Structure 1
Amino acid sequence: MSRRVALVVGADDVGEAVARRLVRDGYELVWCDPVEPGSVAGRIAEGGGDGGGVVTLGASLDVLDDPDDFRAALGSTLRDAGHDGVDVLVYTLVSVEAFVPRPLAGLTGAEWQRLAEDPIRHGLTVLQVAHEVLAPRRGRFVLVVPAVALEGAAELVPLATAAETLRALAKSAARRWATDGITVNIVTPDVFAYGAEHLRGTDVDRGEAVLPGAGTAADVADAMSLLVAPAAGRLTGTTLVVDGGALMAP
């Protein structure tokens, strides 16, 4: 039986929590942290689990600008590790800078490029390569983006724009890839799962009407695990909101 392989593209606590959960669930992990390559791979491996180890795809953000560059880097890493495909691909990459409130009227062109357009480009690159590595194993793709994608946020417009655009791209992929047996689903946690405590009391805070306790990156990882489980094989194109009941969107 071939080894189960998961690729996680992410650079924050959410990405690390997702990677740890996949290793614990028995996957061999290919970890891509394009912001600080290799910075947490050791910690993930030390966490243990039933998986067969952690391989680092030492790519920078530049490699996500072009599908051919990402395809080459990923292909080389998979071959060197003896993998012929990927069972699960989870994309969690979000810029920490995007959680800093900025009035819409004051956004510069450079800020918009960096915080809205570049993240869309990076996510699109991964989606453009995802099908070919998932198809041989009828794999699962999970996109993790903040729940501001669903409702917007007054001073987090670049983040909301990038997140909702990526969600739309993922839903389009779900329709196209269904006939190949690939599922594509979305997890949308609240901003506090990303550690954005400075946003308490702003218009993205629904703390008065949610389940007790703060949401964590581990909660996001648990939701991701539900979507890649065998029992979720008929679930695709779905957005799972992990915010304790704050939004309650359909």
Structure 2
Amino acid sequence: MAERVALVVGAADLGEAVAHRLAADGCEPILCDPGDPGPAAARIAAARGGVEPATVRAALKDPDEFRTVVAAGLRAAGHDAVDVLVYTLLSADALSPRPLATLTEAEWHRLAEDPVRHGLTVLQVARELLAPRRGRFVLVVPAIALEGAADLVPAATAAETLRALAKSAARRWAVDGITVNIVTPDVFAYGAEHLRGTDVDRGEAVLPGPSTARDVADAVSLLLAPAAARLTGTTLIVDGGALMTP
């Protein structure tokens, strides 16, 4: 893969794994996160012989603010556009079970509505970042978007809403040569081992071994390969065969 600029939104866990894989593929990763992306960048640097990726700390509630901060970060790194934008952001406790009947309004806003707002903010800016280079957008959300989850209703709702937004963007942006695809890993790729034995655990129906963040990063890499240029609006399920949909 020729060197490309890859903006990875969400620096923790899956985002770090994706940035590390894209660096290995020859991309120049830039880590973006509402929190501090520095620790993830330092770990990537340690694995790359001291080459630390650029970082951008950006809030995601307002597209104008996000646009300004990301543009400044890109200029500082010597760029004005990106070839790849991967969105992996997930709140730290999104996969903590909460019975639907006891959800508070504050929990619903934080776990269902805020993630949609954050993803929408990125999508509202992504087209102008990607269009100059006919780039690619990949959304990573948990596979509970496809089937729901008894005690993860806010996260499942947010994930499926973001998936619908991404598919709409795929239709609209095709004229610009931008592809938009979705990767949906099972919850165990996020390290949610506390959900073993719950309704989202289909270990008896999958390939041996747990899904990992590296598996997700490999799937993202597949969607960014030259041979995937005609794929858009596609959902790639990384769960070892648990769902086998559609």
TM range (shorter): over 0.9
C-alpha deviation, 1:131, in angstroms: 0.3
| In structure 2, distance between residues paired with 1:65 and 1:37 | 18
1:118-197 matched pairs, under 5 angstroms: 118-197=114-193
Provide Cα deviations, 1:104-155, integer angstroms capped at 9, x if missing partner: 0100000000000000000000000000000000000000000000000000
1:43 Cα offset (Å): 0.9
Q: Give TM-score, length-normalised by structure 2.
A: 0.96
CA distance in 1, matches of 2:24, 2:11: 19
- The two structures have a TM-score, normalised by structure 1, of 0.95
1:11 touches 1:94 (CA, 8 Å); kept in 2?
no
Moved more, 175-184 or 24-33: 24-33
For structure 2, which runs of at least 5 residues remain unmatched after alignment? none
Question: Matches of residues 55-134 of structure 1 in structure 2 within 5 Å?
Answer: 55-59=54-58, 63-134=59-130
Name the residue aligned to 1:29: 29
Distance, in Å, in 1 between the alignment partners of 2:197 and 2:133 is 45
In structure 1, distance between residues paired with 2:71 and 2:80: 9
- Which amino acid is the alignment partner of residue 19 of structure 1? A
Out of 227, 236, 245, the position equivalent to 2:241 is 245
User: For the Cα contact (< 8 Å) 1:13–1:217, is it kept in 2?
Assistant: yes
Give 3-state SS (helix, strand or coil) of 2:30's partner: strand
Single out whichever of 25-34 and 63-72 deviates more from structure 2.
Answer: 25-34
Give, in angstroms, the shift of residue 53 of structure 1. Answer: 5.1
Give the letter aligned to residue 171 of structure 2: R
Contact kept? 2:21, 2:218, Cα under 8 Å: yes
CA RMSD of aligned residues (A): 1.3
Matched, 1:6 2:6: yes
**Residue 40 of structure 1: aligned partner:** 40
Matched residue of 2:38: which SS? coil
- Could you tell me how far apart the structure 1 residues matched to 2:7 and 2:45 are? 14
Secondary structure of the residue aligned to 2:97 is: coil
Distance 1:172 1:225 in 2: 22
Shift of 1:188: 0.2
Give the equivalent residue in structure 2 for 1:54: 53
Corresponding residue SS for 2:167: helix
Instruction: Write out per-residue CA displacement over residues 207-241 of structure 1, whole angstroms, 9 at most, x where no aligned residue.
Output: 01100011100000000000000100000000000
Q: CA deviation at 1:3?
A: 5.1
Look up the equivalent residue of 1:56 and give its one-letter code: T
Is 21-30 or 230-239 further displaced after alignment? 21-30
Aligned pairs, how many? 244
**Deviations along 1:34-71, whole A, 9 cap, x unmatched?**
2333221111122228xx75101022xxx200000000
Deviating above 4 A after TM superposition, structure 1's stretches of 4 or more consecutive aligned residues are none
